[in-house]
Structure formats: structure tokens, C-alpha cells
A and B are shown apart, each in its own frame.
Chain A
Amino acid sequence: MKSRYLILPAVAALASALVGCKSGGGDTIKVGEFASLTGKEANFGNSSHEGTLLAIEELNAKGGLLGKKLELLTEDDQTKAGEPRNAVNKLISKDGVVAILGEVASSRSLEAAPICQKSKIPMISPSSTNPAVTQVGDYIFRVCFTDTFQGAALANFASGTLNAKNVAILTDVKSDYSKGLAKSFKEKYSSSGGKIGIELDFNSGDKDFKGQLTSIKSAAPDAIFLPGYYSEVALICIQAKQLGMSIPIFGGDGWEGESLITIGKDAVEGTYFSTHCSSEQGTPEMLAFVESYKKRFNGKTPDAMAVLGYDSAMVLADGIKRAGTTESAALRSAIASTKDFAGAGGTFSLNANRDADKSLVFIQVKDGKFRYKTTVKP
């Protein structure tokens, strides 16, 4: 074998060793984030990313943490199942992040959580509400309430404000969030005396719902519970209107995306949904956040996902400060003992299940805008 050919494998080995090694140490604290920046739920990912980015920039303006600046590494999971796994693996093994922030959707959080748990990297979800997310392990946190609470609040809303004795449920069977919330709502609503009328399903990505809607229309419920994501909700409301249905439709925090209004237009007028917080709440933290968000993002009003993206980063920062280190076990304990944290979305503590005990708000779509209606305490 000619000796000059030995150069190639040697160079290749050296190159792969250099590329493959973890970028550890250095003078920044690396924070990983994965979000649906493109795709069907791009509204969610972009909102939460903007909130997180604002938080990191504010922290760096104040000098960073532990004497180092924070570096935010964001991966786009394109609203596709299977992508969160790749994103989180890359952030942990290649980029060497100390913690992961993400995701908004429960299905994608559930995909990434086992990887973070196994690698012992703390993961803080801004707004995944399916109870199963934090049950994956003690390194998984969330800064929002769970669907056990949201389902109950929605059930009370249905029997109370909407005065509905009979509710039909339309579930997205491809989404863990939708299935979980529907289940929670059903339990609480039935046990408080409400009657569940007809129950039908659809798949996220479907575009035609007239079959389901016609059956619901002839069952004539007092209200329709639709625990889905905004893309399908907008289409369902449009097609319900085309079928001449005027039954009130309501849902959960998956509704909160601006595409709900740009696509749904007047078909979603007057509908209600529950979510984590509203920019119209007058707490000092919310007002300060809304102001800095508007300044940073060209006068745009933040939605709940942006607030929670911000709070997830701030809770992480608070944890790093209290732990005094980014070492995973110490950081985990510090985050787990978050108490009375004054977040932009409200003051909360993380309970034993690593969920946040927070209030919920109801929003009504009025005049093409999201308008705050009421707050429900846990």
C-alpha cells in the first residue's frame, strides 16, 4: 500500500475527532431550545421563541449569569413528529447545552422528555399541559398548569357561563394534548352532572369536517367542546358556519395562535377558549413584559405562549442563580425548589410533580381580537 494513501484516513480520523467532540467549557452558558418555528403550529413556536429570546437578551444585558453570558441555541422541529428527537439529541450531544427549553405541544414534549431525562439535562416546557409530560422523570419541568386543572375549569365554564347541559366533543386523535384534555373535560363535566352528547374524532391535517359537523348538528348539543390546535379549529368553525350551525364552540389553550383569526375570520367571532394568561391582565410583571416585548418586536402584542417562553427561560435563570452552578443535579434541585416566582404570567411555585400551580384565564374572540374575560384560580 502506497504510504501517501495513509494520509487520507489519518486526516479523516483527525477531522471527525475534532468535529465530534463536545464544545464544552468556554465562556458562555449554552441553553438549548426546540420549537415549532415552521409548519402547522408555527404560531406557537415563533411566539414562545420570541419570549425566550427576549428573556435571554434581558439577562445578558444585565451581565449574564455566574459571570458568563447566556447563549441560546434554537432548533426548529417543523411541527413534525420525529424532529424533536433529532433536535434535542443534537443540542445535548453536539452543542453541550446545560438545559433545554421546550416544547409548546405536549406530543413533541413527550418525544423529547425521555432523552433529556436519560441524559440528566433539565427540560422546562413553557406550555405543554398533558399531565404525562412531567411524569417522564424528575428532570422534566413545566411553567404552566396541567390539563387536569384545565379540563375541570372548562367543565365548570361549560355548565356555568355557557349554561350547557349537553356538550358534544370533537377530539384530535393525533394529538396527545387533545386526547388528554378531552378526557379530563369529560370526567369533570360528567361528574358534575353534565351530559356528554355525541363524541367524534378527526386527525390533525384533515381539511374536511362536514361529516362530523353534520352529525353534531343533528344531535343538537348546547355547546361543542373542541380541544384542538388553531389550524383545524379555524377550519372547523368555518365549515360549521357554512352548515348554518350557531352552536357555541369552545376550547383550550391550543386555540391561541393568530392564524385562528386570520384564517377563521368571522367564523370564530364570539368563541371562547381557555389559556394561561392574557396581555390584558394588569399585573406589574405582565405590564413590564408587554412593554419590553412590544419594544423588541415592533409593537406586536404578546400572546400566552410568548409569556410562557419568557417565564421558562427566567425560571431556568433563577435556578442557575440559586444553584450557583450549571451542574445538572444541582441545577435540577434548584429548579425543583422554585417558590413564589414572580413570572410575567403570574406568581407561581413548582409543586411536587414539577408542575406550576397557576390560574387560568378565559379569552373570547371579539372584533377579530383576543379579549380577556375571566380568571379561574386553581
Chain B
Amino acid sequence: MDFLQQTINGLGLGAIYALIALGYTMVYGVLRFINFAHSDVLMLGAFTAFYIAPKIEKMFGNQSVLGCIMVFVIAAALCACIGMTIERLAYRPLRNRPKLTVLITAIGVSLLIEYTAQNEKVIGASPQPFPQLLPEHAFQIGQKLIISSNDILTVAVTIVLLVAMWFIVQKTRVGTAMRAVSYNQQAALLMGVPVNRIISFTFGLGSALAAIAGILYSIRAPGIEPLMGVQPGLRAFVAAVLGGIGNLPGAVLGGVLLGLLETFAGGIPGLSNYRDAIAFAILILILLFKPAGLLGRSTVEKV
């Protein structure tokens, strides 16, 4: 029973990591760089929901399904715009510079957002209570298994978004353009693909996912603060690398695996303190034996 319960817990957490990892991996796919500011978009999504939820509540009533959907949609849309703005202002001018330059800029953007948010005049560094968007029920299955409605919501939303992502990337023109840009940016440009717009779209999509992940994370742990994105962001990044950076199903696999690992290790006395160490140790091992990640394909560079 314990094993099943921990699996449910782990899946709930892993789904959130999967959503965040998707954002990291998509941006890496088209631009070949890690967007370190992604974890802060997660935090901004949570705070956007924090600020708009009371207003939505007034319009749609307390804890209504429609109100909850509105909060998700508006927060995702706003964060998509924020993500696209960051790309436009901080990354696009450095498009032709060495990768290291953009990486450092990304770290700079991340720190800028974090420290600006911690300033008391902006958001403030103390934990704030995240409003309850939907009533919470604990469903009891069998003797001891408890599934919280929050977990069901998280997994359901994640599955819906994953299917949507798969559909967008595989079946639409935009998706084909994204894949083209990720194979070879110059060739895509020569083929008439509007590379700048596709990259913006990718950032917007990834940021929207991060915002939704941020809200789901806040529903799970309703104390939000400006540095809340750092830990899940780091874990999701590890998950993305674990699954094969640039590979979408890999990101999901990595996220779920890491969520399960963290939960199981947390429940074992003596190990609960070493959860992070175990997760990163496994990452190192996988990278030693399979450098491209679990589902990644090692690319051969023609010299």
C-alpha cells in the first residue's frame, strides 16, 4: 500500500516537473541553449494567479471550475508574453554570439527577476498564502490509499497539455517549422521559415507551460515566495537532461522519474535527507553511460 501511495504522490510531483522540463527542452531544441530564467517564469505564473484570483473569484464565484480555468488561461497568456519579451530583449540581440554569452545573460535575467521580486516594494520575500482555486477532496480507495483531487487535477492537466504539445509539434505547420528550426536554423531560414517568429512562439509556449506548472505547484504547496521557482526549476532541468535534452518525450520521462525518485527517497528514514544527492547521482551515472540521456540520440557532428 505504501508503494502505491508513494507512486501516486510521486506522479503528482513528477507531472509538474515534466511540464517545466518540457519548457527547458523545447527552448534547447530550437536554440541550443538552456534558458535559466525559465524557473522564474514559473514563479511569475504563480504570482500572476495569486493577484488575479481574487478578481476572478468576484466574477465567477468562490472556487468555481470556470474561475479556475480562467485563472490558468490568463496566467499562462501573461507569462507567454513575459517569456516572449525576455527573448526579444535579452536573447535575440545575442543570437549570433557564442553560446556562453547567452547563457550568462540567461543567468542574469534569472537573478534580475528573483531579486526584483524580493524587493519589498514589488512582491516581497516572505511566503504568501496561495488562494484555493478549487475545493479539495481526498478520495479514499480501498483500505489506505488516498488520492487528492489536486493530484488528479495535476495529472489530468499535464496529460491534456502533453497531448496538445504533441499535436502542435507533430501535426501543425508551426510545429513542423519548430522542428525544422531545431534541425538546422540556417537551412530553415533559407526555406522561408520565419525563424524569429518561431523562436518567439517556442518561448511563449514554454513559458505558458511553466506558468501552469507554477500554479499546479502552488496548489500543492500554497506558500509562494519569489525564490519558489529555483528548486523545482533545477530539478526539472535535471529531468530534462536525464531524459535527453531536446527530446520532448524524454523530458516527460525524466520529470516523472525524478518525481518518483524524490518521493520514494523522501519516505525512507536516513535517506530522506539525501533525496537531491540521489537524484543528481543518478543523473551523473546516466550521463556517464548514456551521455545523450535516456531517450536522446547522440548526434554526430560532421567536421
Q: Which residue of B lies closest to A169 (CB)?
A: B269
Q: Are A40 and B127 in contact (CB under 8 A)?
A: yes
| Interface flags, A253-273, vs B, CB<8A=1, else 0 | 000000100110100000000
Cα distance, A211 to B12, chains bound together (Å): 11
Q: Are B126 and A210 in contact (CB under 8 A)?
A: no
Is A90 an interface residue when CB atoms closer than 8 A count as contact? no
Report the interface size class on chain A: 35 or more
Q: Which residue of B lies closest to A46 (CB)?
A: B126
Is A235 an interface residue when CB atoms closer than 8 A count as contact? yes
| Interface flags, B253-284, vs A, CB<8A=1, else 0 | 00000000011111111001101000000000
Q: Are B129 and A262 in contact (CB under 8 A)?
A: yes
With A200-B269, A215-B269 already in contact, the answer to whether A208 and B220 are too (CB < 8 A) is: yes
- Interface with B: A159-167, A237-245, A275-283, which one? A237-245
Q: Identify A244's interface contact among B118, B146, B265, B266, CB under 8 A.
A: B146
With A40-B225, A207-B223, A210-B263 already in contact, the answer to whether A242 and B150 are too (CB < 8 A) is: yes
CB-CB < 8 A to B12: which residues of A? Answer: 210
Q: Are B223 and A263 in contact (CB under 8 A)?
A: yes
Give the number of A-B contacts (CB < 8 Å).
Answer: 117
CB-CB < 8 A to A239: which residues of B? Answer: 220-221
Is A299 an interface residue when CB atoms closer than 8 A count as contact? no
Q: Are A39 and B221 in contact (CB under 8 A)?
A: no
Is A42 an interface residue when CB atoms closer than 8 A count as contact? yes
Q: Are B127 and A231 in contact (CB under 8 A)?
A: yes
Q: Are B223 and A215 in contact (CB under 8 A)?
A: no
Is A349 an interface residue when CB atoms closer than 8 A count as contact? no
| Interface flags, B1-28, vs A, CB<8A=1, else 0 | 1100110011011000000000000000
Q: Identify A211's interface contact among B1, B128, B220, B272, CB under 8 A.
A: B272
Known: A39-B118, A218-B5, A263-B222. 17 other contacts (CB 8 A): A40-B225, A79-B125, A202-B266, A207-B221, A208-B220, A215-B2, A215-B266, A215-B268, A231-B127, A231-B223, A235-B221, A238-B222, A242-B146, A242-B150, A244-B138, A259-B223, A263-B223
Closest 7 CB pairs of A and B: A211-B266, A215-B267, A207-B221, A42-B126, A210-B9, A211-B263, A201-B273
Mark A residues whose CB is within 8 Å of B: 38-40, 42-43, 78-79, 173, 198-203, 205-212, 214-215, 217-218, 231, 234-235, 238-239, 241-244, 259, 262-263, 265
